[in-house]
Amino acid sequence: MLALHNNKKYTLLAIGILWLFHVSGIMGISLGYQDWFASRTALNLFVMFLVLILFFPMDSFKKWGFFILFGSLGMLAEYLGVTFGLFFGEYNYGNNFGPKILEVPILIGVNWAMLTFICGAVANHLSENIFLKSLLGTFMMLFLDLFMEKVAPIFDFWEFSGGYAPIDNYIAWGVISFIFHLIFHWAKIQGNALISIHLYLVQLVFFIYFYVYF
């Protein structure tokens, strides 16, 4: 794992695979194969998760412990949101995020943790102050969410009652993300900033493209 992490050739190969998957998705959906590519979202997220494991790298019990913590808390928040309409507003998940527990896709919890780790790793290289780093990471997550919300119902990811995400959704995303980032930086978790920025950028480019396309 550490050998892969320290090997520039393998790191660049992993980055190339990330972009290949997302650019292929952009091209395929644009050419009319939306259902085929959207139904493979879970596979794409799993590939991103594998890249994170190998190249972040997830090489300690501390990292795994906090990853599981963020994923579990993210799942709990989403369960309360889907079941009781708390935090985010009234919404439901579609079928393209893979298997669910209590109507919440497992990969949503993984995504909460993964975004915290990659945004936190990038923020580590932008500031030394724990509160500023936490704000930067939160901003990155919120900025991505702004573009995801319009595209999500089109790809059967999730959909809000009324057809759009309420302000409550963004407030909750911001508050939860900030708490996660405070914990992340308090724990002094370090990771590969290069692989993290590409894990973030491939998603950002994908969702900005379809935000404009649709």
Distance between CA 164 and CA 152 in Å, rounded? 10
What integer pLDDT is reported at residue 170 of this predicted model?
95
What integer pLDDT is reported at residue 163 of this predicted model?
84
| Residue 6: pLDDT over 90 | no
Q: Which residue has the tokens 């963020």?
A: 70
Render pLDDT for 98-130 as a digit per residue (tens, 0 to 9): 899 999 999 999 999 999 999 999 999 999 999
- Residue 29: alpha-carbon gap to chain centroid: 20
CA-only gyration radius of the chain, Å: 17
| Residue 2: pLDDT over 70 | no
What integer pLDDT is reported at residue 206 of this predicted model?
97
What residues does 92 pair with on adjacent strands? 159
What integer pLDDT is reported at residue 8 of this predicted model?
83
Closest to 14 measured CA to CA, from 161, 195, 154:
195
**Cβ pair 58, 116 in contact under 8 A:** no
Question: Mean per-residue pLDDT for 87-105?
Answer: 93
Render pLDDT for 145-178 as a digit per residue (tens, 0 to 9): 999 999 999 999 999 998 889 999 999 999 999 9
- State the chain's mean pLDDT as an integer: 94
Question: Mean per-residue pLDDT for 173-195?
Answer: 96
- How confident is residue 4, by pLDDT bands cut at 50, 70 and 90? low
Task: Give the angle 204-208-144 at the CA atoms, nearest 5°.
Answer: 45
Among the ranges given (8-12, 51-55, 66-70), the one the predictor scored with the smallest mean pLDDT: 8-12
What integer pLDDT is reported at residue 150 of this predicted model?
92
Distance between CA 5 and CA 195 in Å, rounded? 9
What integer pLDDT is reported at residue 7 of this predicted model?
78
Contacts of 58-65 with CB under 8 Å at 24 or more apart are 58/1, 59/1, 59/2, 59/5, 62/187, 62/189, 63/117, 63/189, 63/191
Strands (E), 60-178: 91-93, 100-101, 104-105, 158-160
Three-state DSSP at 62 gives helix
In percent, the amount of the chain with pLDDT more than 70 equals 97
What residues does 104 pair with on adjacent strands? 101
Question: Mean per-residue pLDDT for 171-187?
Answer: 97
What integer pLDDT is reported at residue 110 of this predicted model?
96
